[in-house]
Amino acid sequence: MAPMRTSTKVMAAGTAVKPMTAEAAEEIAAQDFASIVESHRPQIFRFLLASLRDVDLAETLTQECFLKAHRNWNRFRGDSSAMTWLMRIAINLQKDHWRNRRLRFWRHTQANAIGVDEASDWLPNGERSAEQQIVAREQVAQVWKIVDGLSARQRTVFLLRYVEDRELSEIALATGLSEGTVKAHLSRALARVRAELRGTR
Amino acid sequence: MSRRDKLAGEIDDPMVAGALENFKVSVDAWSDAAYNRPPTVVRTARHNWRLAATWALGCMLAAGSLAGGLYERHQRQELARIEASKAAINAAEQKAAQVHAAPEKPVKAATVTKRQPTAVKKAANENEDLLASVDSDVSRQVPAAMEPLAQMMDSNGTK
Asked if the structure places residue B132 within a domain, the reply is: yes
CA dist., res. A2 & res. B65, Å (int) = 62
Q: Do A197 and B24 touch (CB under 8 A)?
A: no
More reliable by pLDDT, A175 or B152:
A175
CATH number (domain holding residue A67): 1.20.140.160
DSSP classification of residue A80? S
Asked if the structure places residue A80 within a domain, the reply is: yes
b vs e for B90-129, b when ≥16 Cβ sit within 10 Å of the residue's Cβ?
eeeeeeeeeeeeeeeeeeeeeeebeeeeeebeebeeeeee
Per-residue confidence at B46, pLDDT binned at 50, 70, 90?
low
Backbone φ and ψ of A114, nearest 5° = -90, 160
- Measure B50 CA to nearest chain A CA, in Å: 20
pLDDT in tens, chain A (201 residues): 333 333 333 444 444 445 666 666 656 655 677 888 888 999 999 999 999 888 888 898 999 999 998 888 877 777 778 889 899 999 999 888 877 765 555 455 555 666 666 666 666 766 667 777 788 888 888 888 888 888 888 999 999 999 998 889 999 988 999 999 999 999 998 888 888 887 754
* Residue B47 vs residues B39, B50, B83, B103: alpha-carbon distances, Å: 14, 5, 54, 85
Tell me the chain B residues in contact with residue A58 when contact means C-beta distances shorter than 8 Å.
34
Domain count across chain B: 3
Last residue of a domain, one of B66, B83, B99: B99
B81/B46 same-domain check: yes
Asked if the structure places residue A155 within a domain, the reply is: yes
Residue B67's pLDDT is 95
Domain of residue A52, residue span:
2-113+150-199
A113 reaches B (C-beta below 8 A): no
Spatial CB neighbours of A143, under 8 Å, sequence gap ≥ 6: A193, B19, B20, B22, B23
CA dist., res. A183 & res. B20, Å (int) = 17
- Measure A162 CA to nearest chain B CA, in Å: 7
Closest residue on chain B to A158 (Cα): B20
Asked if the structure places residue A79 within a domain, the reply is: yes
Of B3, B19, B30, the CB nearest to A139: B19
Spatial CB neighbours of B142, under 8 Å, sequence gap ≥ 6: B150
Question: Between chain A and chain B, how many beta carbons pairs sit less than 8 Å apart?
Answer: 71
Asked if the structure places residue B11 within a domain, the reply is: yes
- Measure B69 CA to nearest chain A CA, in Å: 45
Closest residue on chain A to B19 (Cα): A139
Of A45, A142, A165, the CB nearest to B19: A142
Q: Do A55 and B18 touch (CB under 8 A)?
A: no
B46/B58 same-domain check: yes
Question: A148 in the Ramachandran plot: left (φ > 0), alpha (ψ -120 to 50) or beta?
Answer: alpha
Q: Do A46 and B31 touch (CB under 8 A)?
A: yes
A136 reaches B (C-beta below 8 A): yes
Asked if the structure places residue B157 within a domain, the reply is: no
Asked if the structure places residue A128 within a domain, the reply is: no
Among B104-113, B114-123, B124-133, the range with the most confident prediction by mean pLDDT is B124-133
Domain of residue B136, residue span:
105-141
Asked if the structure places residue B158 within a domain, the reply is: no
Q: Angle at Cα B42 formed by Cα B41 and Cα B44, nearest 5°?
A: 65
Residues A19-64 have pLDDT tens digits of: 666 666 656 655 677 888 888 999 999 999 999 888 888 898 999 9
Asked if the structure places residue A135 within a domain, the reply is: no
Of A45, A123, A144, the CB nearest to B35: A45
Domain count across chain A: 1
Last residue of a domain, one of B47, B74, B99: B99
B30/B59 same-domain check: no
